[in-house]
Structure 1
């Protein structure tokens, strides 16, 4: 265990307790060594339940621990940048939950931090073998020319106390799940979007976007379209459509940990998916995969594929989607 990355987790957020910490514990490179909460008893309870060695009653105590190499930050969106900055200034590497910030301007603070400490946005989907396999198929030409990507991601949550329904701290569909559907375009096209047009339906009580749809132009006649919602029937799907074949990722975003998945290919020669074939993706834990990607970068074994600059670019795209809904027209993405 001595050569493993020692992780500290700031907060007892549900995503950390149920997904990321178990993923770190299953990883090859890391160990969950400490957890902090604003109340020591809460931290101790989480540490006891998950078998974590140390518990702290404040984030500052955890950041001051010299034995901690990297921090996982799953705090509410408005606390992502401030605590990440604190952690880096304390000498820690940081893997931060998505979205990295409330907007691109705030995210740009991360570019001014010391370069000897790594900062990355926690998009576990990019570490999942199903996304990697799908991109390999795109790059191989198996789909022909990839020209259209369509995504849908929704769930139903109308709880006024839930942080996803609080506009002032970064709630809403686009920030919570639209970041995934947007990211699919950057990942599978290996390119940046040039402009976007969008529609937003806001909850009259919460002020958050409860349904957002967007059309993004990646140049060279390549499109990404998506709809995300916090108040529709739970559903998710991702379609990559080329000139020769269509590729469908059945559970593209919150893939079940430790379960086999499938991607589907169809040349459209028969109607009703009759010409479709399936490829099984072996069981894995995408949070463990993400922890290993970051852990290998921290140890110097491999370069970090997506750092702070990538996170800023993600926020620029999200900012443009919001701006388009306000202006009612196309918005260019710098």
Structure 2
């Protein structure tokens, strides 16, 4: 089987603990190199994860002709800069979410893709590749719960470390950019539409300046998604989708474990059924889908226009929260 050779930009924790191990189980890609501005850190990570090559700069990795694509888990404010640099080297890019700090940044990538049409760029919303989400979408599309009209979701964790990038406002930290973007994404996915208007509310951390709690309403015209995300609450996640004839509840919607079964609940009339999915690694599935698009020269599963629409909605939520009013999308 043909494979693509991937290099990893930085030794970020999500890469070390989740994405790289997932990629290494994929059938159609290999992790060939990793880099860091601290070469010793790159070498330690490469040794620990059995990665053949380590570099002491991002530029050195991008200059390697043996790398076909890069995975970009850099801090949010560096996503666009280094994705553009990778594209200029004709490297395909799988970039962590959110791909840009605002829709203007994403538009820079759209313009670059017109210059480099051969390069694939995909935002890493890994949850979409898990079978529990594939089945949820299938059930909704075939009418298992009737017309879906309401989505309720909650996603939180507790992190008050001032040194963590999620708590640095100038690096794109905060709840909405880190985890609320998932809730915006799933709402657009399940309703298969863009919201007409949004209403946002946030509580800013007085020290960090980031939104430690953000709640939003997405109005899809007769259908509504309500969500809350927080970086300083007890860890919890859940999604409920309600329709005229039933309900679907995703128990572990985002951080699905790679080594344990997952479940969704399907309620139809007064009966509730549990649908169980065998253990799988959503990062492996994401890597295989991305690599398949590269190898077969097809569109990536999450298009740049989908990314733009998601970020545009996030931008509108921030504007709404600042102005304390509904914001049109």
Query: What's the TM-score bracket when you normalise by the shorter of the two chains?
Result: over 0.9
1:320 paired residue number: 316
Unpaired runs of 5+ residues, structure 2, are: none
- Cα distance in 1, alignment partners of residues 302 and 186 from structure 2: 14
Q: Secondary structure at the match of 2:255?
A: coil
Q: Secondary structure at the match of 1:9?
A: strand
Alignment partner of 2:175 out of 173, 176, 179: 173
1:228 paired residue number: 229
Offset of residue 194 of structure 1: 1.1
8 Å Cα contact 1:237-1:250 kept in structure 2: yes
- Cα distance in 1, alignment partners of residues 118 and 60 from structure 2: 22
Offset of residue 223 of structure 1: 0.7
- Cα distance in 1, alignment partners of residues 83 and 276 from structure 2: 37
Q: What whole-Å deviation, never above 9, does each CA across 1:281-319 have from its counterpart, x for those lacking one?
A: 121100000001100000016431212222111110100
2:217 paired residue number: 215
* 2:137 is the counterpart of 1:135: yes
1:249 paired residue number: 250
- Cα distance in 2, alignment partners of residues 86 and 266 from structure 1: 48
Offset of residue 93 of structure 1: 0.2
Q: Secondary structure at the match of 2:279?
A: strand
- Cα distance in 1, alignment partners of residues 178 and 324 from structure 2: 22
Q: Secondary structure at the match of 2:84?
A: helix
Question: 4+ runs of 1 displaced by more than 6 Å?
Answer: none
Offset of residue 73 of structure 1: 0.2
1:272 paired residue number: none
Offset of residue 267 of structure 1: 3.0
- Cα distance in 2, alignment partners of residues 301 and 245 from structure 1: 39
8 Å Cα contact 1:23-1:288 kept in structure 2: yes
Alignment partner of 2:279 out of 254, 264, 283: 283
- Cα distance in 2, alignment partners of residues 207 and 39 from structure 1: 29
State the number of aligned residues.
Answer: 326
- Cα distance in 1, alignment partners of residues 148 and 196 from structure 2: 17
- Cα distance in 2, alignment partners of residues 30 and 102 from structure 1: 29
- Write the mapping of 1:1-334 to structure 2, written as runs, cut at 5 A: 3-113=2-112, 114-219=116-221, 221-267=222-268, 269=270, 275-300=271-296, 302-333=298-329
- Cα distance in 2, alignment partners of residues 148 and 49 from structure 1: 45
Q: Secondary structure at the match of 2:11?
A: coil
Scaled by the length of structure 2, what TM-score is found? 0.97
8 Å Cα contact 1:10-1:72 kept in structure 2: yes
8 Å Cα contact 1:118-1:307 kept in structure 2: no
8 Å Cα contact 1:239-1:247 kept in structure 2: yes
Offset of residue 260 of structure 1: 1.1
Q: Secondary structure at the match of 2:21?
A: helix
Scaled by the length of structure 1, what TM-score is found? 0.96
- Cα distance in 2, alignment partners of residues 93 and 300 from structure 1: 13
8 Å Cα contact 2:121-2:300 kept in structure 1: no
Offset of residue 256 of structure 1: 0.8
Q: Secondary structure at the match of 1:313?
A: helix
Q: Secondary structure at the match of 1:68?
A: coil
Q: What whole-Å deviation, never above 9, does each CA across 1:39-62 have from its counterpart, x for those lacking one?
A: 211111111111111110100000
Unpaired runs of 5+ residues, structure 1, are: 270-274
